[in-house]
Amino acid sequence: MARLYFDHNATSPLRPAARAALVAALDAGNASSIHAEGRAARGKIETARTLLARAFGVKPELVVFTSGATEAANMVLSALAGMTCDRLLIGAGEHPCVVAGHNFPETAVARVALDGDGRLDLADLREKLQAPGTPMLALQAVNNETGVIQPVAEAAALVHEAGGVVVCDAVQALGRIACDFAATGADVLFVSSHKIGGPKGVGAAMFSRRAVMPARALVRGGGQERGFRGGTENVAAIAGFAAAFEEVLAQREQEMERLGALREKIEADIKALAPEAIVFGAGAPRLQNTLAFALPGLSAETLVAALDVEGVAISSGSACSSGKVSASAVLAAMGVAPEIARCALRISLGWPNKEQEGIAFPDILSRVRQRMRRRS
């Protein structure tokens, strides 16, 4: 059997439709040029922009393409510091691009706690909103490590009541659950292409209204993206992103139902194999494609490497720390003991995964587990 790739929350393989669109646009002209080739390139970008705008319920001019979600987060959080808001509240399980990507002074930043299942603690949010100043809340729609779905709409209502702004990381939610402006209540959303089977190196920031757009560009240059993000647009990647997103939108409900059934089977098989297994976020709504669990006593780092040798790609959490395996801040915020957190693994499923892969995985895991237990 071919390798089992169970790490779609890190990156999802390029969809054939996205590959075709990407290749077709590789020779596109410069979208800032006014000749026919430039206009054709511009047309591909604006078609993609309109697709995102319609899906998220905003005008196309409120969509800004970036090199990915990290740049989008940096652009929004840095530019809005002191412009719209003077305090930043960060969910305790946020991605490093949010935690390290803002420009607020440290004294103006506070973490909002998670409960034991990994959901934002709304009582703690209410308490932190009592402090003086105009707040900004940065909150994921879905946690990338646990798959736990966050109460963004409820949090947004509280923040708006306090006169604040909500920036939502919708990277893992894109194409999997409803994460538009109406569903989240957010003021700003950002997304990434490669999580849904589009090309790497492209994402977007989207704004509910002109008033929450940055006053200046983070990347300054030739005034592209209506002056919000300088630099020649990556036409091919944007075209591939649009193709992947269009396919995801058409298949979302049935695809997530399919992956949910596959996730449930894998989870049940792991519990049957290892009754001591701990599933993180089990008491909260979770994304159907994600399973975060621990086999106590077995190091995640060693287990990931052993499974890789057996032809299985899973992760020990987020893949966004330069390949380093380190303690999970998300699990720590959930109150997970360090000795359990060191055993944490993540399976995240995507469009190519089939039922037979879910059937094959428990046997592979059983072999690896037995081998590791004999050596310990």
Q: Show which residues are catalytic.
A: 320
d(CA 74, CA 229): 12
Q: 173 with 182: CB under 8 angstroms?
A: no
Count the residues in the chain.
Answer: 376
d(CA 158, CA 89): 12
How does strand 203-207 pair with strand 63-66?
antiparallel
Residue among 109, 111, 120, 112 at smallest CA distance from 87? 109
d(CA 234, CA 254): 31
How far does Cα 179 stand from its chain's mean position? 11
Sequence-distant (6+) residues with CB within 8 A of 230 are: 217, 219, 220, 221, 222, 223, 224
Helix (H, G, I), strand (E, B) or coil at 239: helix
Residue among 293, 315, 296, 295 at smallest CA distance from 304? 315
The one-letter code for the residue type at 62 is L
Q: 302 with 282: CB under 8 angstroms?
A: no
Work out the number of other CB atoms within 10 angstroms of the CB of residue 25. Answer: 21
d(CA 175, CA 81): 29
Based on the number of CB atoms within 10 Å of its own CB, is 187 exposed (0-12), middle (13-18) or buried (19 or more)?
buried
Helix (H, G, I), strand (E, B) or coil at 347: strand
Q: 307 with 365: CB under 8 angstroms?
A: yes
Helix (H, G, I), strand (E, B) or coil at 130: coil
